[in-house]
Structure 1
């Protein structure tokens, strides 16, 4: 767990702050004394969170796929706190299902949110950091930026894009000699957040994957990059093992992952098709943690052992 630090005067923008990693990151940073700018589409939730966190928190309703919203977010942060020290591009969604079963407008909207939103946030953050001479940009990627998986091809594509974008920006800052501007990216494993509740789902089954990591592991790792910036961090032993396996046995790892994921989707309870929060935010999924661990326990209890087999970080890997 990250040690409590005195972060008085530090200003951090967090996108996707209404639930999951973003909410947890904001809560911890505010507890350490940082100014936090909460960005998300769900105005009521971030307004309530800002009240909970006190006078150091500012809520700004933001759709990260809108460049105008990102510009307004930066302007609001500057107006309230003077400047931004850390910008965390955390907002992102997913879609599960056969590529040809997912509506094209859902897939293109996912690209707008996950990839274009990351470009907009990175652009405004780095321009601001250059003007002020320092700053840290942290982009949320995933282990699947190295380990491609079926039934989530467009989601994988956005994470590959985020990894390429962030790596390029990191090198660019180095070549420009900007030693006080840091560009970082994190690659979490499957984590128990409300991600399944918000994702598009055309698989015909509930999104129940695992074993899952605790969101606190990711939250602490992201906050740790503020103090010790690194270009790229794989979070947790399972993420590291999956990526290593892909490098050592690329074809075998990809095929095994695909088979295991397909088994897990087929063995999960049936579910109606949904676009989730892709086009408009949903009321469900408001906390840092989700309900995936409980669903996994129920599935295992019913004898669906493929859930228990799903990548233990040593023998199998997947998402």
Structure 2
């Protein structure tokens, strides 16, 4: 029986990931800030589930949590970084402290998780690091600058680490799973400086459906990235081909798509600095609009070689015809 640790596991996608791994008979370790919500999540998930509290942006707390889980269920075979924080606001209205906090949780929290997980995996000579990313790691959108920046930074850190693991011939895999918009509670508890109620950019996917892609990634550790859902695939490819046009498209479409209705108040403190006592569940309040099934595409080096060979063959055929 393998062991998986999941950060950000008290709600949303992290909780959905923990639940699906538990159903597949993994030993599961939950990590998040709020003790009560973690205890409730562990009871709900059941099985061989343990939990430990930590603010992932504080290395010492996350390290202590990992050591507690190790004592209870053993070291991690798989480590999933799913913790995040976001702010819905114009760039100029985000304070320095808010920007730093969102970046520390989403980016540095992932970096710390990778560093701690590597300690366990290098000593055992095996392991799989799974980093939850987003299509926004490739194609940023307005009004979420800290989140988009953090996800892009994570992709850079993961790519750098992957090169080092390959160079050192270490049998440790690392996969980044790029997610579409999901129906998670983050839109209820995110900090906001705008007089609108945030929503995921449609189409909206069920976190449980996206968690299945993470389980698939765990079972296919050689995959470099996993792109989940049609919007992720479209955003990543379109931005590679037409980045300037995508700037204009997002400028004209992404504002309205991120909000469902006027908010009662202009500002919302959210859970940026203090854990929320509400909304500790998998789904947000968009369940009637969510899509319960999705597809995913896993990238790998051999696919790139096959694509390169096909391009050469096409070019050779073109020369013959001409």
Alignment partners' CA distance in 1, 2:191 and 2:289: 18
Alignment partners' CA distance in 2, 1:217 and 1:108: 31
C-alpha contact (below 8 Å) 2:5/2:79 kept by paired residues: yes
**What is aligned with 1:173?**
165
Q: What SS class does the counterpart of residue 287 from structure 1 fall into?
A: coil
Deviations 1:243-297 (A, max 9, x none): 111122211112111221223357731342123111011122222111135589x
**What is aligned with 1:113?**
105
C-alpha contact (below 8 Å) 2:32/2:52 kept by paired residues: yes
TM-score by length of 1: 0.85
Distance 1:247 1:54, change over 3 A: closer
Tell me how large the CA RMSD over aligned residues is: 1.7
Q: What SS class does the counterpart of residue 93 from structure 2 fall into?
A: coil
Kindly report which structure 2 residues correspond to 1:22-33, keeping only aligned pairs within 5 A, or say none: 22-33=14-25
Answer with 105-114 or 210-219: which moved more.
Answer: 210-219
Deviation at 1:54, TM superposition (A): 3.5
C-alpha contact (below 8 Å) 2:51/2:69 kept by paired residues: no
**What is aligned with 1:256?**
249
Distance 1:58 1:269, change over 3 A: same
Instruction: List alignment gaps of at least 5 residues for structure 2.
Output: 291-322
State how many pairs are aligned: 287
C-alpha contact (below 8 Å) 2:50/2:73 kept by paired residues: no
**What is aligned with 1:190?**
181
Kindly report which structure 2 residues correspond to 1:1-319, keeping only aligned pairs within 5 A, or say none: 9-54=1-46, 56-178=48-170, 180-208=171-199, 209-229=201-221, 230-264=223-257, 268-272=261-265, 273-294=267-288
Instruction: List alignment gaps of at least 5 residues for structure 1.
Output: 1-8, 297-319
TM-score by length of 2: 0.85
Q: What SS class does the counterpart of residue 187 from structure 1 fall into?
A: strand
Answer with 128-137 or 69-78: which moved more.
Answer: 69-78
Alignment partners' CA distance in 1, 2:257 and 2:22: 38
C-alpha contact (below 8 Å) 2:198/2:260 kept by paired residues: no
